[in-house]
Structure 1
Amino acid sequence: MPELSRRLFVLSAPVFLAGCMSSRQQTASVKPAPRVVPQYFQEMYAAKTDELYPVAAADLTKVEPEFYRQEVDYPTTEMPGTIVVDTQARHLFLVGENGRAMRYGIGVGKAGLEFQGVARVQYKREWPRWTPTQDMMARDPERYGHLSGGMEPGPTNPLGPRALYLFKDGVDTLYRIHGTTEDWSIGRAVSSGCIRLLNADIIDLYSRVPAGTRVVVLQGPESPLV
């Protein structure tokens, strides 16, 4: 090999190798940085020690920010004080004054098990008992059959610290608005039909609405008629 060619080869080799290493570094998988939750929301969803049973802090790293509780613009023909559940958007709105509403993130029922229409909050319960429906016990007797007499309230109760019981024309719909410890489920369709909120959110909503509150549950963009 001529002397000049050997020199060019030696000088070029490191550049070639460096290029390969750079390419591998660029294609290596990089884990996304953990979500940074603003202090305001950390305090909003902090643990509650003044409850009958302890309420753990919500793990907001498992919840998309759009599902954190916040006041938003919400033009609607519904009267202030109405609860509007938008199952497609995974949001619950408590209608306020001047086109505003308090918005909460929710988990909703699986396909075929959702409630749709207009109901009323017949009554409210703090730290309620939970009893599976007859359909649930029939579908999965091994899991639910022993709970026919109900489950005591507490941190592991599926209804969480609060529940709003929805009736239509005076008849129990068997659907509830309630809390959950499964923070990851907010924004998803996972439950057996009920509308679930983060525990801090159901406590907040519970304090704002009386029995008799109108509840509109939407499966599409239009509000159902009474």
Structure 2
Amino acid sequence: MALLMRILMSVTVVVMSAGCVPNVTTTVGQSTPDPLAVSQRDARFLALLPNVKTNPSYARTVVDTPTKAPPGTIVVDAPRHLLYLTLPDGKAMRYVVATGRNGFAWRGAVYVDHQAAWPDWNPPVEMRGRDPRVKKTSGGPENPLGARALYLYANGADTLYRIHGTNDPFSVGMPVSSGCIRMSNADIIDLASRVPNGTRVMVY
């Protein structure tokens, strides 16, 4: 926990001058990931997960960007459970996400160090201490990290936070995580296909 606190202290805390209030003027609903981004393993694992009907308002959507961040930046509006990938021409792709529950929310500027498809999950010691049922899980449909994970670093150090998929789609749109940003598997596949390593991530 001391290491995590030192890392978080090094994260640059920033204030968004434009705020993160959605200003939707153009909508392009997409309920499934880009077929080019989905592998055969994705299709096989996704078929094993329950087919959950989500709120139509949760569909990822192109909006007028609510932030002044340059194109190619991930901006997370944690209180509103929204993630934006900024695009050219003043637009952004908006996704609905789950964020940290009370006591686990955080703010800062980090970056995507690397990515993984259907990664193994090795929960930190602190998390295992809070819940003895938590254990290392191999990548697959039962893994809490879901279809993709973007590993967030600050100043060359792992923050232990991730932007990742989930095997609990009902949690999307709620403050339920231990600080990680959860997305539906369809959305994390889509986001991961759009961003390279080194992408800046700003959490407010």
Bin of the TM-score, shorter chain as denominator length: 0.7 to 0.9
Q: Is the 8 A contact 1:82 1:95 kept in 2?
A: yes
Query: 1:77-124 CA distances to partner (integer Å, 9 max, x unpaired)?
Result: 211000001111111000001110001110111111123100010110
Alignment partner, residue 59 of structure 1: 52
Looking at structure 2, the residues matched to 45 and 98 of structure 1 have their Cα atoms a distance apart, in angstroms, of 22
* Partner amino acid, structure 2, of 1:173: T
Q: How does 1:110-129 map to 2 (within 5 A)?
A: 110-129=101-120
Q: Is the 8 A contact 1:115 1:175 kept in 2?
A: no
Secondary structure of 2:193's partner?
Answer: helix
Alignment partner, residue 204 of structure 1: 190
1:50 to 40, 49, 52: 40
Secondary structure of 2:123's partner?
Answer: coil
Secondary structure of 2:165's partner?
Answer: strand
- How high is the TM-score relative to the length of structure 2? 0.77
Alignment partner, residue 132 of structure 1: 123
Q: How far did residue 140 of structure 1 move? A: 2.1
* Partner amino acid, structure 2, of 1:199: N
Q: Is the 8 A contact 1:178 1:194 kept in 2?
A: yes
- How high is the TM-score relative to the length of structure 1? 0.70
Looking at structure 1, the residues matched to 149 and 124 of structure 2 have their Cα atoms a distance apart, in angstroms, of 16
Q: How many corresponding residue pairs?
A: 171
Query: 1:139-181 CA distances to partner (integer Å, 9 max, x unpaired)?
Result: 223x12xx3xx32111000000100000111111111000013
Q: How far did residue 49 of structure 1 move? A: 7.5
Structure 1 residue ranges, 4+ long, deviating more than 6 angstroms after superposition: none
Q: Which has the higher helix share?
A: 1
Q: How does 1:21-170 map to 2 (within 5 A)?
A: 41=30, 50-52=40-42, 53-56=44-47, 58-60=51-53, 63-141=54-132, 143-144=133-134, 147=135, 150-170=136-156
CA RMSD of aligned residues (A): 2.1
Query: 1:158-211 CA distances to partner (integer Å, 9 max, x unpaired)?
Result: 000100000111111111000013221111111222100000000000000011
2:161 to 172, 175, 186: 175
The change in CA–CA distance for 1:128 and 1:43 in structure 2 (over 3 A counts) is: closer
Looking at structure 1, the residues matched to 45 and 129 of structure 2 have their Cα atoms a distance apart, in angstroms, of 32
The percentage of aligned residue pairs carrying the same residue is: 47
Gaps of 5+ in 2: 1-28
